[in-house]
Every structure is written in C-alpha cells, then in structure tokens.
Amino acid sequence: MTASRSDYAAILLRNDPILDVRSPREFERGAIPNSRNIPILTDDERHDVGLTYKQDGKAAAIARGHELVESDTKADRVSAWLKYIHAANPTALTCWRGGKRSQIAQQWLAEAGCDIPRLDGGFKALRQTSLDVIAQSSKRDWLVVAGSTGVGKTRFLRNYQPSIDLEAIANHRGSAFGSMATPQPTPVTFEIATAQALLQIADFKCCLIEDESRTIGRLAVPNALYKATQNAPLVVLEAPLSERIRFTYEEYVIGAIPTQLIEAVDRIQKRLGRERHRIVRGKLVEALRQSNAELHQEWIGCLFDWYYDPMYEFQLSRKQERIVFKGNAAELREHLATAYQLPCNA
C-alpha cells in the first residue's frame, strides 16, 4: 500500500505528519517539516549494512539488517512507531527512496495490526515534488516590497494574504543581526517549507514578497523564485529615520544576547572600515554596560548612516525601472487595496 505521487502536493499543502524511518544523519540533512524521525536503523547500523552490501551484495545486506534489528530491538522500534502513529495519525511512512527500509517497517507495523501507506519513491520523490512547485513560481505574478532597514517590511507583510515570509521560513531576519536563537533549517528542509508556502497561495493571482538578497543567513533563496522576484514590480515602504531606529532597537536589541550583538558588528568590520567599526563597537559596548536605550539608538543610527542606508540606496538605484510606488505604511496599504485589490488583514 503506497501513497500516490499525485497526492504529494496535497500532502505538502496540508503539512501532513509523516513517519520518517531514515537514519538520524539522513534526517538531519533535510526533512519534511512535519515529519518525525524514528529510524529503523541507527547511523552505525546503516553504515554496517552498507559495508555488507558493497562486500557481499544485496541479499547479504538485507540479512545483516535483520540480524542487527533482532527481536527486542525490533519490538522497541515497532512500539515507538505505534506510539507516534496513535498520537499524530501520520499520512504515511517513508525512507529515502521508498525501498526496503520503509517496506520492512510497513510490514512490521502490519504484523502489529497497523496498516499505514508508504510514500512511493520515498522522501526523494516528495522532495522532487517540492522542487517542481518552486520551479512553477516563475509563472506567478509577484509584487515585491522593498524598503530600507528598520521600516518594518516583514511586519507589514504579515498583515497580507497572499504573501510569503521567506525570513520566517529561513528562521533568519536577513541581515548581519538576523540570527535567531534557534538554528536555521537545512537547505533541503528550507526548500520543502518554501514549496509548502507557495502551495498555500496557489489560488491567488498576485502575491506579496519581501525584497530579499540571494541569501538569507546561510540559506540560498531557491533560484526559480529568486529570479522571478528580481523581475517583478517593486513597491517601496518608507518611514522616518527616527521610527526606523526605534523599530530596529525594539526588534533586534531588546532581549538579544549581548555577545551576539557584538559578533554581528564584528562581522561587518571590513565593510564599515576599521575606524567606524571601532566607534560603533565602542558605542554598543557602552550601551550594553549601561543598559541605555538612547545609547543603543546612537550606534544603530551610525550603522544606518555608514552602512545600511548607503548599501540600500545603491541596491535600489539598480531597480529604479521596476518601482511602481513609494510611500509610508498607510499610503502603501491604500495603494495595494486600490491598484491590486489586496486588502490589509490588520
């Protein structure tokens, strides 16, 4: 019993739970966002089976796998699978290609009285579905929201559907200061989650997306999506400098780990130059020492003057022919409602 590949887009759209029986190392390299890894073979066991396959062939490798997962170990793993299945009601189980590992897991579960489909073609086939979805993004109508650092582009976009928040999917806020407390997903997991977001807006003609660079943190925006947004019309969100500084302080500094702020400033030392980096870092260290909001806003202002605003103005100068509107948040909301029939949900 297999889940049909024709259903994989629907599985991604619904964010169905999936039982993934691949090894932990495979799972760490990339996974379906709502899947649970309960491996049929540990990393060491899989390595052992792989060596046997190379040396003695397929039949010997299968026998070695059964030998490694004998009665007690098998019972423990089936018990763990059943516990998850009863709790989460997963749509299917999977391994890498939908081959022996998921077939054997499916058989063991059936022997325990639990019938569950396996993904035809496994994780590899479902990932291919996600890549196909991303490839189709070039056929959509995109409207890109640009704006200098601190105008609140992401906050603005959250009030609109359809929109895609790539920074949320990438778990990174897209600048030297954008790291989050939790790590970013792997590139493969990021691709699948992006495909899920694209499927959620499939029925809408026009979709909003933030103007992103080629990378968000250490993750590359999928090529088809990036190219599509680089040719799309641009609307520019504007805000006074004082508001931008205050927003950046509230969003990036309050609650931040002090050492991470210092490390973020150090990461752009070459771009700031030695003397300006020394000034900004000194102001930051003193603001942290005093827990002083005004001092924090001073170094943020310096970063805007010396780094972020010049960089933004240069980048925007190369996109002038794509700009269709500029304005503050209220003006942009009105423009989106009248020109694109995109109402604000706030």
Helix runs in 69-222, H state only:
71-88, 100-111, 122-135, 153-157, 166-170, 187-200
Q: Which of 95, 114, 302, 344 is labelled catalytic?
A: 95
Q: What is the DSSP string of 13-32?
A: HHT--EEE-S-HHHHHH---
Cα–Cα separations (whole angstroms), residue 315 to 147, 211, 309, 310: 11, 11, 10, 9
C-alpha 303/C-alpha 299 separation (Å) is: 6
C-alpha 39/C-alpha 254 separation (Å) is: 41
Report the pLDDT value the prediction gives residue 232, as an integer from 0 to 100. Answer: 97
Residue 233, judged by CB atoms within 10 A of its CB (0-12, 13-18, 19+), counts as middle
Give per-residue pLDDT as tens, 264-310: 999 999 999 999 999 999 999 999 999 999 999 999 999 999 999 99
Residue 82 token pair: 């059943």
Report the pLDDT value the prediction gives residue 56, as an integer from 0 to 100. Answer: 84
CA angle 198–144–319, rounded 5-degree value: 140
Q: DSSP 3-state assignment of 145?
A: strand
In the chain, residues under CATH classification 3.40.50 are 140-339
Q: Are 192 and 12 in contact (CB under 8 A)?
A: yes
Report the pLDDT value the prediction gives residue 178, as an integer from 0 to 100. Answer: 67
Active site residue 95: yes
In the chain, residues under CATH classification 3.40.250.10 are 2-131
Closest CA to 210 of 245, 170, 260: 170
Domain 140-339 has CATH 3.30.1760: no
Q: DSSP 3-state assignment of 169?
A: helix
Least-confidence region, from 97-111, 171-185, 208-222, 321-335: 171-185
Q: Are 244 and 305 in contact (CB under 8 A)?
A: no
Does 65 score more than 80 pLDDT?
A: no
Does 162 score more than 70 pLDDT?
A: yes
Q: Are 224 and 134 in contact (CB under 8 A)?
A: yes
* Spatial CB neighbours of 177, under 8 Å, sequence gap ≥ 6: 252, 261, 264
Of 260 and 68, which is predicted with more confidence?
A: 260
Work out the widest C-alpha separation in the chain, in whole angstroms: 71
Mean pLDDT of 203-225: 94
Report the pLDDT value the prediction gives residue 72, as an integer from 0 to 100. Answer: 84
95-99 contacts: CB < 8 A, separation 24 or more?
95/20, 95/21, 95/22, 95/40, 95/122, 95/123, 96/22, 96/26, 96/122, 96/123, 96/124, 97/121, 97/122, 97/123, 97/124, 97/125, 98/2, 98/122, 98/124, 98/125
Does 180 score more than 70 pLDDT?
A: no
Report the pLDDT value the prediction gives residue 66, as an integer from 0 to 100. Answer: 76
Report the pLDDT value the prediction gives residue 182, as an integer from 0 to 100. Answer: 81
C-alpha 175/C-alpha 157 separation (Å) is: 17
Structural fold of domain 2-131: Oxidized Rhodanese; domain 1 (3.40.250)
Q: What's the pTM?
A: 0.91
C-alpha 45/C-alpha 186 separation (Å) is: 24
Give per-residue pLDDT as tens, 319-332: 999 999 999 999 99
Strand partners, 36: 19
Cα–Cα separations (whole angstroms), residue 50 to 44, 62, 66, 216: 10, 10, 13, 36
C-alpha 345/C-alpha 189 separation (Å) is: 29
C-alpha 141/C-alpha 231 separation (Å) is: 10
> What is the side-by-side order of every strand in the sheet holding 118-119?
2-3, 118-119, 92-94, 18-20, 35-37
Give per-residue pLDDT as tens, 88-107: 999 999 999 999 999 999 99
Mean pLDDT of 77-88: 97
Of 332 and 183, which is predicted with more confidence?
A: 332
Report the pLDDT value the prediction gives residue 64, as an integer from 0 to 100. Answer: 83
Residue 108 token pair: 């063991």
Radius of gyration of the chain (CA): 25
Residue 325 token pair: 């509107």
Give per-residue pLDDT as tens, 10-64: 999 999 999 999 999 999 999 999 999 999 999 998 888 888 878 888 888 778 8
Of 252 and 66, which is predicted with more confidence?
A: 252
